[in-house]
Structure 1
Amino acid sequence: MTEESSSAIKHWLSLDFDEATRSEASSFSPEECAHRLDPHTRLTFGTAGLRAKMGAGFDRMNCLTVMQATQGLCVYLLDKYGEKALREQGVVIGYDGRHNSRKFAHVTAAVFLSKDTKVYLFDKSTTCTPFTPYLVKRNDCLCGVQVTASHNPKEDNGYKVYGRNGAQIAPPTDEEISGRIADNLKP
């Protein structure tokens, strides 16, 4: 193992709190370290939110990238609506039946709850995607997050964000959220 690879693994392990992806990253080859543990290969947040293969690394869907995305989304909502609105109106979080979807939804909820946000979480069962934006509108929430990769392969997962109007976010909102994510990466 090269010194650069060892440093990349140490950096990842200092951030990641999920045992499965910590174990996966610890076994990476130098080539895998060079790509997957390079912070510059980070998932890009766009109008569809995040979507990628699941696994260790900044370019994958995992608990760390979900937490970082949620931290950025939370700061965006605080900046746009304020603490009172976030505390009183809150967010809706749903998830599908894919591997890790429930875990990612719980990570999302934990971040919002740590910021004193009201959270409506579908906790007993999976939800079809339209329920999340419907409840955003019905409950007058500030946004919704649906953990799903819809039609993508089973190895993938995703993080879709719906605005206050129940619609999928659009430019420039996606860019504003992306900027807040980049500024709030530390767990």
Structure 2
Amino acid sequence: MNDNVKNCRKDIVNKIIPYARKDKRIVLLVCDMGFGVTDKFKEEFPDKIFNMGMMEQGTVGIAAGMAMTGLIPIVYSIVNFLVFRAIEQIRNDVVMQNLNVKFVATGVNNYFKFLGSSHCCGEDDKKIMQLINMKVFDPYEGEKIDFNKMVKDWITDTKPGYFRV
């Protein structure tokens, strides 16, 4: 694996921070996980991070509403819960309305296999997102990936985007 993306699961939230400094519309919605990973963001932006609990479907709906008001919400959740639980809301509420909602799916490539198969989905998430016309950002795709450029392309795009870490 490319050393540039080796720790991207741990680094993704910290890579968002400079963009959140520049763009006050960025908010982070966390689905009851990511503790430790989100600490720096929470320290710098305590009023722009929300623990939504275990409710991915509701979180996506809330993110869509936030995007309709001009905010740029980032939904951060474990990959299989985000994709398998909330796919209808992602498709109908975000993709079909072309809302600027960003998704971070953590634990891709079966990172959480020690928690059992309920926390794994191989690359099905990627296929499902492509099926509903969601742009997928996958730093694990090749050896020559520039992680920082990929984060910039994802966060500055005005269309919905799905980032796999």
Short-chain TM bin: 0.3 to 0.5
Give the TM-score taking structure 2 as reference length.
Answer: 0.32
Give the TM-score taking structure 1 as reference length.
Answer: 0.30
